[in-house]
Structure 1
Amino acid sequence: MSADHDHDTYEGPLELVAGDEVVTVAAVLSGVLQPIDGAYHWQGRLAPTDELTAFATLVGRKPIGIRVPGSEEVGGRLGERNPWGGYRVSGTGAPPAAHL
């Protein structure tokens, strides 16, 4: 992270996991180490798809697993649906993409 607080970013596929349900969506994520609490916070937006809407309806606000295909799963949450039909996603701690 640079001194001007630029966020690291990831743009690509993301897998959302809840039990046996897995959906792959296009995502743009960014993250930053917050000096106030000392934790890494990441967030992003997910492109709208019918599968994402069905997944979001199924899981609601419960914690979900999130991973870049082929990587380890981390915990996160789906946020609000945006006016374009996509959703926000966020988490604290290890990000789903190693370079975030």
Structure 2
Amino acid sequence: MSHNGSCEVVVLGDPARLHGLLDAARVVGPDAATRFDSGSDTWTVITADGEQLAARVIVHASASPDDVVAAHGMPNRFRIPGPHTRRQARYVARLVDGLRRSGASRIEARPARVRVRRYLPTRGLSRFYLTGSESTDTEVYDGPAILTHNGQDYPTRVRLAGHFDPIDGQYHWQGMFFIDLPGSNATGSKVSIRVGEHTADGRVAERTPWGTLTVSGAGGYPPYPLQDSEEVRIAMPPRV
């Protein structure tokens, strides 16, 4: 029998790997099906017996040969793969708490992968985008765009987020687009994205587990309009 429920965090797998740091989480089996809704920034989790849950965050607590805790393209989703599960669980708990305190509805890794190792320090929220709800850390665009690849235009939907870096004076943006590109070597190739009169060049980063392609770029401006144009004019050189 299936029924619906809602919780902040759902853990897939072995709760012992959490070391009691996310004790309010709902625990289900590792074989549960998951689906992310980018409109509401929530996960739907369907257990093996048909129970359906809505979760803000899901955490995979199963052993894995790699040490990736979070990945770009997989928002609100973390892993505790081991072998240093206590350190990884502590890191994930800090991120979940940071998401809760920020008022944002979505947390997503800025780099392609975030790893937590035994001895090396790992930066916290600075390695993640916090978007949605009341978060103001990043500018986000989710909508139609024209992607140009090898001289060919492709109408598509994109979800992009970015921020101005005062250290290098550039606007760094990344995200994903929802159209496939022809050929087997799309990853690493150059693209241009245009939203209205805004255009920027980027590069295809990698393919996500859902089959979409991620893209990133850096320059004076992103390929989408910014909400706070006055602040941008102060922070960045004028567009020429």
User: Normalised by the size of structure 1, how large is the TM-score?
Assistant: 0.75
User: 2:197 matched to which residue of 1?
Assistant: 71
- Higher-Rg structure is 2
Please, which of 54, 60, 68 is the counterpart of residue 182 of structure 2? 54
Please, which of 139, 146, 167 is the counterpart of residue 8 of structure 1? 139
**1:45 deviation in Å?**
1.6
Give the AA of the match of 2:182.
A
2:141 aligned counterpart, secondary structure: strand
Moved over 6 A (4+): none
2:182 aligned counterpart, secondary structure: helix
CA contact (8 A) 1:8 1:30 kept: yes
**1:67 deviation in Å?**
0.6
Q: Is 1:34 matched with 2:165?
A: yes
Q: Cα RMSD over matched residues?
A: 2.2
**Structure 2 gap segments, 5+ residues each:** 1-134, 228-240
Q: Is 1:92 matched with 2:92?
A: no
User: In the aligned structure 2, how far is the partner of 1:92 from the partner of 1:39?
Assistant: 6
CA contact (8 A) 1:8 1:99 kept: yes
CA contact (8 A) 1:10 1:29 kept: yes
**1:5 deviation in Å?**
6.1
1:54 aligned counterpart, secondary structure: coil
Give the AA of the match of 1:66.
I
User: Normalised by the size of structure 2, how large is the TM-score?
Assistant: 0.34
Provide, for residues 75-98 of structure 1, a one-character-per-residue CA deviation record: whole Å limited to 9, x for no partner: 111110000010111111121112
User: In the aligned structure 1, how far is the partner of 2:169 from the partner of 2:156?
Assistant: 30
User: In the aligned structure 2, how far is the partner of 1:74 from the partner of 1:37?
Assistant: 17
**Structure 1 gap segments, 5+ residues each:** none
Q: Which has the higher contact order (CA 8 A, sep 6+)?
A: 1
CA contact (8 A) 2:144 2:156 kept: yes
CA contact (8 A) 2:187 2:206 kept: no
